[in-house]
A = this chain, B = another copy of it.
Amino acid sequence: QAKAALVMDDASPRQRLAAFVTANLNAPIIDARVFSLWATFLGRAGADPALARAHRDGYLGFRNEVEAVVAEVLAAEQHKPDAGELRHHAIAINAIIDGLWIEGCLAGEMFSPGELAA
């Protein structure tokens, strides 16, 4: 499971971030049926305030996890990012996972095994 990657005891922060990204871009998270449900949900979230709130909570929850591990990666490398910089990285990493996940679910046969997480 992807969350397990975030709490691996014997791994550096960078390894945990990489494992988290990889886990999110492979089965069972890459899944055509889950994707279809997700797309339907998203399509309605624009018009339904409760779904919009659910999307927003899910998005921010996921992004906050990414942000926490990015903070550890940078701290381990002696960077002291400010809050804006961490937010910026988390938004970008979240977005690239989402974008790669879409293609993996919908058209995974276009990519070599492991290519999306490379």
Chain A positions near chain B (C-beta within 8 angstroms): 32-33, 35-40, 42-47, 52, 55-56, 59-60, 88, 91-92, 94-100, 102-103, 105-107, 110-111, 115-116, 118
A-B contact pairs, 24 of them (CB 8 A): A33-B46, A35-B42, A36-B43, A36-B47, A39-B39, A39-B40, A39-B42, A46-B105, A46-B106, A52-B106, A59-B103, A60-B110, A91-B100, A91-B103, A91-B111, A92-B96, A94-B99, A95-B98, A95-B100, A95-B102, A95-B103, A96-B99, A98-B98, A98-B102
Which of A37, A43, A59, A92 is most buried by chain B, counting CB atoms within 10 A of its CB? A43
State in angstroms the CA–CA spacing of A97 and B100 once bound together: 10
Give how many copies assemble into the complex.
Answer: 2
A53 to chain B, nearest CB (A): 10
